[in-house]
Structure 1
Amino acid sequence: MSEWLAEYGMFLAQVITLALIIVILIALAGKARGHEEHSRLRVEELNKRLRSRQRRLRLTGMNRKRRKMALKRFKKDDKHEARAPESSESEQRKPTVWVLDFKGDIKASATTRFGEEISALLGVINEDDEVVLRLESPGGLVHAYGLAAAQFDRLREAKVTTTVCIDKVAASGGYLMACCADRLRAAPFAVIGSIGVVAQLPNIHRLLKKNDIDVELLTAGRYKRTLTVLGENTEEGREKFLDDLENTHELFKRYVSERRPELDIEAVATGEIWYGSEAVKNGLIDDLGTSEAYLLERMAHARVMTLALEKKRGLAERAGLAVSMGLEHAVQRVYEVLEAGGWQRR
């Protein structure tokens, strides 16, 4: 058994090494060609997607004869819709609901793409249109989410109707973004709030001092450095650091209050979080429900279009992603087999 495991391990190591070599060679070739990165705009009408899926479900329970008749009826309906004059009352221009997605990390890395999507929309959006943002973020860096919120605020300044849908979490910087919308909607157990500011850093000055290691920290400006990792921190530095946190918190509260004036900001700006069913009671959100349910409701009266800028991956990136996903799947499969074997032995 041990010999088999050793041979298998050697084989796996050779496969991984070969895969890495191939990826490196492809990456070098791609770099040598000097291709620039481009993004493509992907737009999809959710009304058509939903209709297609519902038709397939209807066909599932039919026998061959009825299925054939239904397919003919579907084709006839599609032709009639395509030929209908645009000026007819039933086909007058419906409002459009534009759907954007923002999944935030600690650095709000999606902000650049988000801003470009908004720029594209502002050139074509009409007065009766709406923008729905499906937002998911636990928050992160103040300046990063401040910029993301400022990008979203461009829609408010253009007097575009906006709705934020929160299915999982919009906390701290995520809620800073969310409150820019005209209406906030969240799932019953979505995490909302965390209107607060936190900062922490280690200090190893005593360890360095114990080992006779000196650290020279030179600054120009009284508060250029308040708390440090290596140097000795002072009470004055701590007080200044806390003042900065309080100032940031006040800016956070003011920003939210300006966009949700009916909210009792002092009652909710404690750094606490609430679930959606609680958040609707204290005014952090306006409605309960999922994004899927809201978009389905809007499809009855509007065209619902998803819009996303997608980065075009080069050959090297696609190959690397495929190898990475393959290795991840293999490791996960081995883990599952071992886990199943463990349960069987019990």
Structure 2
Amino acid sequence: MEILAEYGLFLAKIVTFVVAALIVAAMVMSAAQRARGQEDEGELQVTRINDQLRDNRETLEAQLHQGAGRKRWLKDRRRSKKKEKKAEQKKDGNAERRERLYVVDFEGDLKASQTADLRHCITSILGVAEPERDEVMVRLESSGGMVHSYGYAAAQLDRIRRSGLPLTACVDKVAASGGYMMACVADRIIASPFAILGSIGVVAQLPNVHRLLKRNDVDFEVLTAGEYKRTLTVFGENTEKGRRKFTEDLEQTHQLFKDYVSEHRPVVNIDQVATGEIWFGRQALDVNLADELKTSDQVMTEACDERDVFLVRYERRRTLPEKLGLSAVSAVESGIMRGVEWLRAGRFQ
């Protein structure tokens, strides 16, 4: 059993080393690709939610029927489908189309990395949508991140409003800080009862190891041109003057955030909500951070009765370094789990 345990540890080390080498190689290749300005193209994927809901409903209905009843149901369903198809073919080709709801998703991280995909979706939608008949809905999930990144993401949503298309933001879980900066652009904000909204504030934090370096006789110098080029640093000695300037910058950023929310949602009492606090859906409704309590599924299902609902996504092709990175992570997890299993087997047997 000891041999098994030692072999498991040895194998885990080998796998870890190989995977680490692959990750480093992938990072180098990715950096070189970015330096050359290369960007892999993707493709737009469109799903008609009306068809998806109908197929799901029919699948469930088919499973609920048993024996001969199921056969009769399937036969009747095929017959009705033929009739529906013939009816559609008889329709005038110039008949007025139904109104449309275009749905896009945004799952935010610290850098709002999905903004590039969002940009492609919005550009495509604006090319075909009709302001007087169509609407856009963004399913938004984000707890915020970098100010400039989320400012750019919010500006993408603002393109929809400026084009004259109604915009709805649906928050099922969280739209806080930068996430709410995006949500407030919408004409209407719909949240689930316990979704988190708000956090209209700005935060910055960093460690400082200057005293540790000084205790070990390590000098670290920060050379700048410009009085406030560096206000606070990780390694250098921070001053009260630098802290005051840093705080002033945070306050200015916070004021810009408040002004942005006030501009797009004048119904809110900005002094009441811009304290950095969060509100759950029902509470957000009381302070006008949201307009209605529903889930995004409910909104889309109800819209399907009167509109054609399309989910629009932009799928970017993964680069080779990214594929290697994902494979490496999977291999590490698999190798570690196998090593743990062998160790356990060796101990308990």
TM-score (norm 2): 0.84
1:111 aligns with 2:115: yes
**Residues 123 and 151 of structure 1: CA distance in aligned 2, closer, same or farther (over 3 Å):** same
Pick the aligned partner of 1:293 from 298, 302, 310.
Answer: 298
Q: Which of 100, 123, 130 lines up with 2:127 in the alignment?
A: 123
Q: Deviations over 1:127-173 (max 9, x none)?
A: 21111111110100100000000111000100111111111111000
Amino acid at match of 1:4: L
Q: 1:148 to 1:314 in 2, by over 3 A?
A: closer
Pairing partner for 2:71 from 52, 68, 72: 68
Match for residue 103 of structure 2? 99
2:46 is matched with which residue: 43, 47, 56?
43
Tell me: CA distance 1:48–1:326, structure 2 relative to 1, closer, same or farther (3 Å): farther
Matches within 5 A, 1:1-346: 1-10=1-10, 37-83=40-86, 84=88, 85-87=90-92, 92-127=96-131, 128-313=133-318, 318=323, 321=326, 324-325=329-330, 328=333
- C-alpha distance in structure 1 between counterparts of 2:15 and 2:24, whole Å: 14
CA RMSD across the alignment = 3.4
Deviation at 1:311, TM superposition (A): 1.5
Alignment-derived partner of residue 342 in structure 1? none
Q: Give me the whole-angstrom Cα distance separating, in 2, the residues matched to 1:215 and 1:14.
A: 38
Q: TM-score, normalised by structure 1?
A: 0.85
Aligned-residue offset at 1:41: 1.0
Distance 2:239 2:183 in 1: 38
Change (3 A) 1:337 1:196: farther
Structure 2 CA distance, aligned partners of 1:216 and 1:325?
Answer: 42
* Contact 2:19–2:331 (8 Å) recurs in 1: no
Offset of residue 221 of structure 1 = 1.8
**Counterpart Cα distance in 1 of 2:21 and 2:4:** 26
Q: Deviations over 1:221-273 (max 9, x none)?
A: 22222222222222222211111111100100000001110100100000001
Instruction: Report the CA distance shift for 1:316/1:76 in structure 2 as closer, same or farther (over 3 A).
Output: farther
1:86–1:92 Cα contact (<8 Å) kept: no
Compared CA separation, residues 37 and 239, structure 1 to 2 (3 A): same
Greater RCO (Cα-Cα under 8 Å, separation 6 or more): 2
1:336 to 1:152, Cα distance in 2 relative to 1, 3 A: farther
Deviations 1:95-125 (A, max 9, x none): 1111101000111111111111111111001
SS of 1:145's partner is helix
Structure 2 counterpart of 1:240, which letter?
K
State the alpha-carbon separation in 1 of the partners of residues 22 and 214 from structure 2.
50
Structure 2: state its 5+ residue gaps.
345-349
Structure 1 window deviating more from structure 2 (188-197 vs 207-216): it is: 207-216
C-alpha distance in 2, partners of 1:265/1:27? 44
Q: Give, as a single letter, the amino acid of the residue that structure 2 aligns with 1:51.
A: R
Letter in 2 for 1:179: C
Render the CA deviation track for 1:65-109: whole Å, top value 9, x for unaligned.
3222322332333333333244399x7411111110100011111
Distance 1:72 1:335, change over 3 A: farther
Amino acid of the structure 1 residue aligned with 2:102: W
Deviations 1:183-202 (CA, angstroms, capped at 9, x unpaired)? 11111111111000011122
- Do the aligned partners of 1:163 and 1:182 also contact (CA within 8 Å) in 2? yes
2:304 partner amino acid: M
CA separation in 2, counterparts of 1:338 and 1:208? 41
1:47-75 deviation per Cα after TM superposition (whole angstroms, max 9, x unaligned) = 11111111111111223332223223323
192-201 or 6-15, which deviates more: 6-15
Q: What percentage of aligned pairs have identical amino acids? A: 45
